Amino acid sequence: MAGLELISDEGYRIDGRLPSELRRTRCRLGVFTQADGSAYLEQGNTKVLVAVYGPHEPSPNMRNQVLPDKALINCEYSQATFSTAERKNRPRGDRKGQELSMHIKQTFEASILTELYPRSQIDINIQVLQSDGSNYCVCVNAATLGLIDAGIALKDYTCACSVNVYRGFGIKDLNRVEESTNCPAIVASMLPKLNQMIYVEQNGRLHADEMADALLVVTSGCQDIFTLLDAAVQDHVRNLTTNVGRE
């Protein structure tokens, strides 16, 4: 897809968005009653479901990893077999999925106040129901909502965004087609209120000036995600309060 025009002469992307626009986002907290916390998030056509369990006593197979001064974060990532249209891209428990699981785990080890839960375990179970680009970012954003729903103490919201650099433009929140090009890209997660980056991955070469601009765009994208997630949490809390009041 090297020859694909990502931005038209009129300034629109292949899905009709402006370079600075996020995909349409829909989310809901508390989708499972059996889990301590749960959330569902759509960003465009990428759809992710998260269930959070804990803090609880470490499971038998994890006891050798238990930490005396903080919680052990266990992240399980999976992708539904029907999540992609292309047969060759269907997940088979490959290395990419394992790497995503590790990166998400490391992200939340940096954002959860793990010292408040010594000798315990927190499980973050993530399933991608439909994949259309920016899987890491959507999983992180959905997991943040699940952790908030579970009442897990966080330093801040953890928000993630992806950016392509195309002809000097920073393109936010990549879909699958944009992600598949050879354009340099950055994927990052941050704590928006603290203005602190906790994960950055660069794909492709960027000039120092382009890198600085791309980081500004990805930071702006994370802040946009924060606004959406915070609004969803506020709505969820209001609904809970209203329901309690009716009872």
pLDDT at 244 exceeding the cut of 70: no
pLDDT score recorded for residue 93: 56
Spatial CB neighbours of 201, under 8 Å, sequence gap ≥ 6: 103, 136, 186, 187, 188
In this predicted model, which residue has the larger pLDDT, 36 or 239? Answer: 36
- The band of 85, judged by pLDDT with boundaries at 50, 70 and 90, is low
* pLDDT-wise least confident of 10-14, 100-104, 149-153: 10-14
pLDDT score recorded for residue 63: 79
pLDDT score recorded for residue 52: 98
- Looking at every residue in the chain, the average pLDDT score rounds to 90
- The band of 55, judged by pLDDT with boundaries at 50, 70 and 90, is very high
Return the structure tokens found at 86: 């292309």
In the chain, where the domains are located: 25-246
pLDDT in tens, 193-234: 999 999 999 988 888 778 888 999 999 999 999 999 999 999
pLDDT at 90 exceeding the cut of 90: no
The CATH class of 25-246 is alpha beta
pLDDT score recorded for residue 121: 95
pLDDT score recorded for residue 89: 53
Phi, psi for 211 (deg, rounded to 5): -65, -45
pLDDT score recorded for residue 83: 73
Helices marked H in the chain — which ranges? 95-111, 135-150, 176-179, 208-246
User: What's the start-to-end Cα distance of the chain, in Å?
Assistant: 57
Q: Is 181 left (phi over 0), alpha (psi -120 to 50) or beta?
A: beta
pLDDT at 81 exceeding the cut of 60: yes
Phi, psi for 17 (deg, rounded to 5): -85, 160
How far apart CA 247 and CA 238 sit, in angstroms, is: 14
125 SS3 class = strand
pLDDT score recorded for residue 3: 60
What would the mean pLDDT of 181-189 be, rounded to a whole number? 91
What would the mean pLDDT of 117-139 be, rounded to a whole number? 96
